[in-house]
Amino acid sequence: MVNIFSVYKFILHGIMKLVGVRPQTVEIEPGTIMNFWVSSNIPNKIENTPKKSKPAVVFLHGFAMDGIFTWQLQVLSLAKNYAVYVPDFLFFGGSITDKLDRSPEFQAECVAKGLRKMGVERCTLVGLSYGGMVGFKMAELHPNLVESIVATGSVLALTRSISDASLERLGFKCWPDYLLPDSVKGVRNMFEIAAYKFPYLPDWIYKDCLEVMFGNRKEKEELLGALVVDDKDFTIADFPQAIRRQRKTAMYRGGRPPCSNGKTFRLQQAAQGNSCFFFRRCAPRLKRPFLFFCFLLRTNESFRVLVGNI
């Protein structure tokens, strides 16, 4: 029987190529190869004015799926007016390495090197969950590359206390039990936890997902193990982006915020115009893509962070 996810993936890749978004393999260093989906910069023949360089937007995926599968709706919305880059993290999609480093810092360095090899000088990062944590590392380590960052369903770092509290709340002993399911029930639980009022799907869809979406299990378990850091080893980075613009970032971390009704809302700071957006769940990019798209367009003027519970 044909796997529905394999068929959809084939169709999705074809659609992306039709709109000018194509895969590109970049050798980061010997033994490390990273796959990027990149929008083509084809000049508009109708316009007589000189072509301006498009602002670069880099989409960083979460732990469940690869880049283009995660961000398909946003890529289709932005590809016409933005230079869109969608990397597959190492051991996702077509990206692989023979190095033993599994830290988010290594992922961040690989993405940054790949972007520079493709000529990207400045960019806005958009990260989901695991991608948000990698994005924060990129912003910290490469301030001249990262102009701003949007993160949803993420934290600055997965400290031991945050990890333990989150696992207890979710009802799992470890992150692989949740993010690397080995049964149809496990896949169903993962999607139902990640999204608010996830629609009913028959078991055969989850079975097809299980067959194609969770390869490189050993390496991914190592990625999850390297993600958790001891509280004593974590310090909040002083992001140069915020300093250079003389602005602060309003952030909400942990628990349920005041006046939360399960919907997206905005937190105001006393400082001039400083704000952040809070998403209670990790699926606004999927369930409310147009609202999420509007938020992305606001990131060009200031260093803003979209944060939410993991």
Comparing 34-43, 107-116, 175-184, 196-205, the range with the smallest average pLDDT is 34-43
Residue 243 maps to which CATH number? 3.40.50.1820
Q: Domain residues for 203?
A: 4-41+52-308
> What is the pLDDT, as a whole number, of residue 242?
56
> What is the pLDDT, as a whole number, of residue 294?
62
Percentages helix, strand, coil for the chain (3-state, rounded to 5) are 40, 20, 40
Return the percentage of the chain with pLDDT > 70, whole number.
74
> What is the pLDDT, as a whole number, of residue 308?
37
Q: Tell me whether residue 47 is in a domain.
A: no
**pLDDT, tens digit (0-9, with 9 covering 90-100), for 252-282:** 333 343 333 333 333 223 222 333 333 444 4
Q: Tell me whether residue 89 is in a domain.
A: yes
Q: Tell me whether residue 46 is in a domain.
A: no
**pLDDT, tens digit (0-9, with 9 covering 90-100), for 189-208:** 999 888 877 888 999 999 99
The burial of 256, by beta-carbon neighbours within 10 Å (0-12 exposed, 13-18 middle, 19 or more buried), is given as exposed
> What is the pLDDT, as a whole number, of residue 243?
42
Strand locations in 67-175 (E): 83-87, 96-97, 123-128, 146-152, 158-159
Bridge partners of residue 177, in order along the sequence: none
**If you average pLDDT over every residue of the chain, what do you get?**
79
Number of domains in the chain: 1
Angle ∠(56,27,133) on CA atoms, nearest 5: 55
> What is the pLDDT, as a whole number, of residue 64?
85
Q: Tell me whether residue 257 is in a domain.
A: yes
Query: Is the pLDDT at 247 greater than 60, yes or no?
Result: no
